[in-house]
Chains A and B, each alone.
Chain A
Amino acid sequence: MEVRKNKIMVENLCKTYHTNSGDHEVLKDISFNVEENEFLVLLGPGRCGKTVLLNILAELEEQDSGKIIFDGGRPEMGNIGLVFQKYALFPWKTVMGNVEMSPKLKGVDKATRQANAQEYIDLVGLHGFEKHLPKQLSGGMKQRVGIARAYATEADIMLMDEPFGALDAQTRYSMEDAIINIWEKNKRTIVFVTNNVEEAIYLGDRIILLSSRPATIKKEYKVDLPRPRSYTDRAFLELRNEIVANTDLDV
């Protein structure tokens, strides 16, 4: 087994929100590592603080205490990819406009950034849809744009916040295949958040199971199944049952 270096090290992360209705502890002593080019899944019940954790990793929010150490130093804004559950595409921009946004903001010249964007549009399977507006696309296609847009930041870390949570079941299956396909063609370090056990096992190299609020780490599972995986595979189902038995019920 090859030894991969750690890309992100999260140490003793804590976060509490102070509101009028009292203090809400969201993250409690969260520590884990993400290896380079690993597909890591954070699995937890709904509203357990997974999004907060990702937002902290993406520097949209700050932790109360604890450290995040990135290999090669903390990336600047615009050098981490984030895929949102609700797509968060710019509705006034075409598919191309959305995907080329990050290099455009960084001042990359038009020819270069559009050539790069085109590669990522092709990678996510949207060739021919460059000039479409988001509202002309289905949910699955919108999220493909979201993934291409995150990839086009050229960041080597991709954070994905329940990216398929808003999709119907059929689209979800095909998007799960699509993301593995994209990742295998263009390896990045992926931290993928979901509340769906099957999705976690289908996708992850490793699964970190979080408890219900405040989120703590319950257990870590290494998924050693060969890809492409099958939902009905015996080992798959055994792991599924094991994880489900360990999962806090989401009320």
Chain B
Amino acid sequence: MDSKEVKKWYYVLPIISILMFIVLWIFLSIPADSMIPSPKETWLRFADICVHPISQAILIVHIWSSLRRVLIAFAFAIFLGVLLGVGLGWSKTFYSIFDPVFELLRPIPPIAWIPLIILWCGIGELPKIIIVFIGSFVSIVLNTYAGIKDIDPLIINAGKVLGANKRQLLFEVALPATIPAILAGIRTALSSGWMCVVAAEMIAARQGVGFLIVQGQQSGDTALIVACMLVIGVVSMLMSTFLSKMEGVLCPWKFGKTK
């Protein structure tokens, strides 16, 4: 095969891969007692929830309720996470004070917080936002911290020699240099935040995609469950694509094309 033909394969193979997945899926859904809904059933159920409300909301409203929780939690997680990450990376004193506590709390899975948070805050919007916050905060802190630690010392020296005072060194040199790392943190945080919101909604919610899945479970509606699972995957994929585009816009010097 010449290289042109090889290249063609790289376009064809993903399509074959998805087709095979669908074929396998159809095959598994054929038996009469199968717990797996067929692609067609799933698609029809999906089309149905797009127009017919469940718990007084059509699909897009459910997606928006989940997304809204993630975005609110995110605003806080980015602000506080960058603050803590920069503090840890920039000041040895700050690091000595806060790192031990952070290291202790960090490995606790966000989902393990759910019972406690529900006891504290009930089952309104707040507990879900807090869970998502916990889920996304950690990776933003870690990435920001690593980003600050990773700055080329030469760049810092260049800033000093050019006359930057301490504040300027942080805001004009260190922070801009850390933006790519912060963006990487946001990307990881977004996918873990999205997972957390679904988990939180499965435990207590009246709206949201996690809630829909639980509805499916309670009514034995596997088509609804699978349709929602796919929706979760697609939303996450779209968010990730959006972030990649944002990286190119916010950080052309790192992610943009050379020419």
Binding site for B on A (CB under 8 A): 55, 58, 60, 76-82, 84, 86, 88-93, 101-102, 104-106, 133-136, 149, 153
Contacts and interface: CB of A to CB of B under 8 A. Distances in A.
B154 A88 contact: yes
B155 A105 contact: no
Majority secondary structure, A binding face: loop
Contacts, number: 69
B171 to A, nearest CB: 11
A75 to B, nearest CB: 10
A37 B157 CA distance: 25
A77 B160 contact: yes
Between B154, B163, B177, B258, the greatest number of chain A beta carbons within 10 A of the residue's beta carbon is seen for: B163
Given A82-B161, A149-B162, A91 B173 contact: no
B217 interface: no
B157 to A, nearest CB: 6
A86 B153 CA distance: 11
A91 B168 contact: no
Contacts of B44: none
B253 A153 contact: no
A135 B163 contact: no
A92 B253 contact: yes
B61 interface: no
B162 A102 contact: yes
A89 B164 CA distance: 14
22 contacts: A60-B161, A78-B162, A80-B161, A88-B152, A88-B155, A88-B157, A90-B155, A90-B176, A90-B177, A92-B176, A92-B179, A102-B163, A105-B162, A105-B168, A105-B172, A133-B252, A135-B253, A135-B258, A136-B258, A136-B259, A153-B161, A153-B162
A86 B155 CA distance: 10
Contacts of B160: 60, 77
Most B CB within 10 A of own CB, among A90, A134, A153: A90
Interface size class of B (residues with CB under 8 A): 20 to 34
Nearest to B153: A88
A237 B258 CA distance: 43
Nearest to B256: A133
A92 B163 contact: no
B162 A101 contact: yes
Contacts of A55: 157
Interface in B134-169: 152, 154-155, 157-165, 168
Contacts of B253: 91-93, 133-135
B103 to A, nearest CB: 26
A86 B157 CA distance: 12
Nearest first, the 4 A-B pairs at minimum CB distance are A78-B163, A88-B154, A102-B162, A88-B158
B162 to A, nearest CB: 4
Nearest to A55: B157
A84 B252 CA distance: 24
A80 to B, nearest CB: 7
B254 interface: yes
Nearest to A85: B154
A105 B259 contact: no
B251 interface: yes
B163 A79 contact: yes
Given A84-B158, A88-B158, A153 B251 contact: no
Contacts of A102: 162-163
B144 to A, nearest CB: 16
B251 A92 contact: yes
Contacts of A79: 163
A86 B154 CA distance: 8
Contacts of B159: 105
Contacts of B164: 78, 105
